[in-house]
Amino acid sequence: MYRRYFERHFEVVKDTRFRSYVKHQLTDVLILVMCGILCGLDELQDIVAYGKGNLIFLREAFGIIKTPSKSTLTRIMNLVRGEVVAGIIVSIMRETLGIEG
Protein backbone atom coordinates (compact mmCIF):
# COMPACT_ATOMS: atom_id res chain seq x y z
CA MET A 1 0.00 0.00 0.00
CA TYR A 2 1.31 3.44 -0.95
CA ARG A 3 -0.54 5.51 1.61
CA ARG A 4 2.47 6.37 3.81
CA TYR A 5 4.41 7.60 0.78
CA PHE A 6 1.66 10.07 -0.09
CA GLU A 7 1.04 11.07 3.53
CA ARG A 8 4.68 12.10 3.73
CA HIS A 9 4.28 14.39 0.71
CA PHE A 10 0.85 15.80 1.59
CA GLU A 11 1.62 16.46 5.27
CA VAL A 12 2.60 20.05 4.44
CA VAL A 13 -1.00 20.81 3.42
CA LYS A 14 -2.80 22.15 6.48
CA ASP A 15 -6.18 20.67 7.36
CA THR A 16 -8.14 23.49 9.00
CA ARG A 17 -11.38 21.55 9.47
CA PHE A 18 -12.81 20.85 12.92
CA ARG A 19 -11.76 17.30 13.81
CA SER A 20 -15.24 16.35 15.05
CA TYR A 21 -16.72 17.02 11.58
CA VAL A 22 -14.10 15.15 9.52
CA LYS A 23 -15.50 12.17 7.62
CA HIS A 24 -12.84 12.10 4.89
CA GLN A 25 -9.15 12.35 5.69
CA LEU A 26 -7.43 15.16 3.81
CA THR A 27 -4.80 12.76 2.47
CA ASP A 28 -7.57 10.54 1.05
CA VAL A 29 -9.15 13.50 -0.72
CA LEU A 30 -5.82 14.70 -2.11
CA ILE A 31 -4.91 11.22 -3.34
CA LEU A 32 -8.31 10.93 -5.03
CA VAL A 33 -7.89 14.32 -6.70
CA MET A 34 -4.34 13.45 -7.77
CA CYS A 35 -5.47 10.17 -9.32
CA GLY A 36 -8.32 11.89 -11.11
CA ILE A 37 -6.06 14.62 -12.47
CA LEU A 38 -3.49 12.09 -13.65
CA CYS A 39 -6.31 10.32 -15.49
CA GLY A 40 -7.10 13.56 -17.31
CA LEU A 41 -10.09 14.69 -15.25
CA ASP A 42 -10.54 18.33 -14.38
CA GLU A 43 -14.11 18.57 -13.08
CA LEU A 44 -14.87 17.68 -9.46
CA GLN A 45 -18.00 15.73 -10.45
CA ASP A 46 -15.84 13.58 -12.76
CA ILE A 47 -13.32 13.00 -9.96
CA VAL A 48 -16.13 11.90 -7.63
CA ALA A 49 -17.41 9.50 -10.31
CA TYR A 50 -13.86 8.21 -10.80
CA GLY A 51 -13.56 7.58 -7.06
CA LYS A 52 -16.82 5.67 -6.89
CA GLY A 53 -15.99 3.64 -9.98
CA ASN A 54 -12.49 2.77 -8.77
CA LEU A 55 -13.10 2.32 -5.06
CA ILE A 56 -11.65 -1.20 -5.00
CA PHE A 57 -8.39 0.07 -6.51
CA LEU A 58 -8.31 3.08 -4.16
CA ARG A 59 -8.93 0.81 -1.17
CA GLU A 60 -6.22 -1.68 -2.12
CA ALA A 61 -3.60 0.85 -3.21
CA PHE A 62 -4.20 3.69 -0.74
CA GLY A 63 -6.52 2.47 2.01
CA ILE A 64 -9.33 4.82 0.96
CA ILE A 65 -12.61 3.27 2.12
CA LYS A 66 -15.12 5.89 0.96
CA THR A 67 -15.25 8.79 -1.47
CA PRO A 68 -16.71 12.22 -0.77
CA SER A 69 -19.71 13.73 -2.51
CA LYS A 70 -19.16 16.58 -4.97
CA SER A 71 -20.26 19.16 -2.38
CA THR A 72 -17.90 17.73 0.25
CA LEU A 73 -15.05 17.57 -2.25
CA THR A 74 -15.74 21.19 -3.24
CA ARG A 75 -15.68 22.36 0.39
CA ILE A 76 -12.43 20.54 1.12
CA MET A 77 -10.71 21.75 -2.03
CA ASN A 78 -11.72 25.32 -1.23
CA LEU A 79 -9.79 25.02 2.04
CA VAL A 80 -6.44 24.12 0.49
CA ARG A 81 -4.12 26.17 -1.68
CA GLY A 82 -4.30 24.72 -5.18
CA GLU A 83 -0.80 25.77 -6.14
CA VAL A 84 0.64 23.94 -3.13
CA VAL A 85 -1.25 20.74 -3.98
CA ALA A 86 -0.25 21.04 -7.65
CA GLY A 87 3.38 21.49 -6.65
CA ILE A 88 3.25 18.39 -4.46
CA ILE A 89 1.72 16.33 -7.27
CA VAL A 90 4.43 17.49 -9.68
CA SER A 91 7.06 16.67 -7.05
CA ILE A 92 5.62 13.17 -6.61
CA MET A 93 5.65 12.65 -10.37
CA ARG A 94 9.26 13.85 -10.66
CA GLU A 95 10.39 11.65 -7.78
CA THR A 96 8.56 8.62 -9.16
CA LEU A 97 10.02 9.10 -12.63
CA GLY A 98 13.47 10.13 -11.39
CA ILE A 99 13.29 13.49 -13.18
CA GLU A 100 14.97 16.65 -11.94
CA GLY A 101 14.10 20.20 -12.93
SS3 readout for 63-74: CCCCCCCHHHHH
pLDDT confidence of 101, banded at 50, 70, 90?
A: low
pTM listed for this prediction: 0.87
- Is residue 62 within 8 A of residue 4, CB to CB? The reply is no
Q: How many other CB atoms sit within 10 Å of the CB of residue 16?
A: 7
Arithmetic mean of pLDDT, 96-101: 80
pLDDT tens digits, one per residue of 8-40: 999 889 888 888 878 899 999 999 999 999 999
